[in-house]
Amino acid sequence: MKRNLLVAVVMAAGMSATAASAAECIAPADPGGGWDFTCRTVGRLLTELGIEEAPVQVTNMPGGVGAVAFANVAGKRADEGDLLVATSTVGVTQIAQGKYPGGVDVMRWVGMLGSDVGVIVVPAASPYASLDDLLGALKDDPTSVPVAGSSGAGGWDHIRLLMLADSAGMTGDAYKAIRWVQFDGGGPAVTQMMGGQVGAVSTDLGEIAGFVQSGDIRILAALSDDPIPAFPDAPTAKAQGYDVTGYNWRGFYTGGEVSDADYDGWVAALNTLYDSEEWKAAAEANGLIPVWRGGAEFETYVEQQAQQMEEISRQIGVIK
């Protein structure tokens, strides 16, 4: 009788230990978006590959382009070692523009696993054959071509376009006059462009790659250092003489008071995931280029990017 009781207690303790070690990934958006994808795919692969024993629980915590989740983790869960929060360049842009309650130093940045590439696209039948043509037209008359993307004015899609305008020699007043139209994602922006509502779209390639493959739209410029593997013929902006790159990486942060042991554990887990064939396949299917930065290297990278983003935002007049 006593032994049975003991067994029961041990089993209960074992169960509660497993329950406590079940990791959680917060997607700071509604189900269906990029951050949600990051959490769900990474969470699923971590379990499937046996890196995490229990299934990773995904929690959607939408609000303020990630600000609600950021505030929640900073305020209540800063020391929780089994927690990851999905983020991307878009989140860092928000931080750099002061739209989160705190700077990048509030969190510990774990790592990034892949990156989407910004592109400038036009309809297949567009009169603009190259980036020169499009930027030339905008230079002559900034209001002549309305451009659309998935972010509002001052968001990452808009900033990437203005960086190109800047490097084409347009002045701040001129490129601020470019008509920018926000849609709820790259897909809607591209279909509205195909319907003739806008002349060009600046957004991430991943969501709209199907339209390039089907021949409905053309890539005028890829904002990457090297040509995109899936579309080797699409010229980079750099090759056309505009020194602009615009990646949108996907990665994770965790609370600022998480112990070094837990933090290093996450970095190692994500690194193992990154090295797997399964992640490479999942990334590729979503138009992401696998790129790894983790631990201290990633922290420095995020700090630099936030700084750079703040400068650009100030230059183009998004913040004062």
| 126 sits near other proteins (criterion: CB under 8 A) | no
Min separation Cβ 272 and other proteins, Å: 20
| Contact by Cβ (8 Å): 235, 227 | yes
What mask, x for binding other proteins by CB under 8 A, covers residues 278 to 307?
---xx--xx---------------------
Closest listed residue to residue 38, CA positions, set 184, 251, 185: 251
Q: How many residues bind other proteins (CB under 8 A)?
A: 57
| 106 sits near other proteins (criterion: CB under 8 A) | no
| 33 sits near other proteins (criterion: CB under 8 A) | yes
| 36 sits near other proteins (criterion: CB under 8 A) | yes
Min separation Cβ 1 and other proteins, Å: 37
Pick the piece of the chain touching other proteins (CB under 8 A) from 209-217, 254-262, 271-279, 300-308.
209-217
Among 159, 198, 200, 309, binds other proteins (CB under 8 A): 198
What mask, x for binding other proteins by CB under 8 A, covers residues 141 to 170?
--x--x-----xxxx---------------
| 209 sits near other proteins (criterion: CB under 8 A) | yes
Query: Which residues in this chain contact other proteins in the complex, by CB under 8 A?
Result: 30-33, 36-37, 40-41, 44, 55, 58-65, 67-68, 71, 99, 101, 143, 146, 152-155, 179-185, 187-188, 191-192, 194-198, 207-211, 213-214, 216, 281-282, 285-286
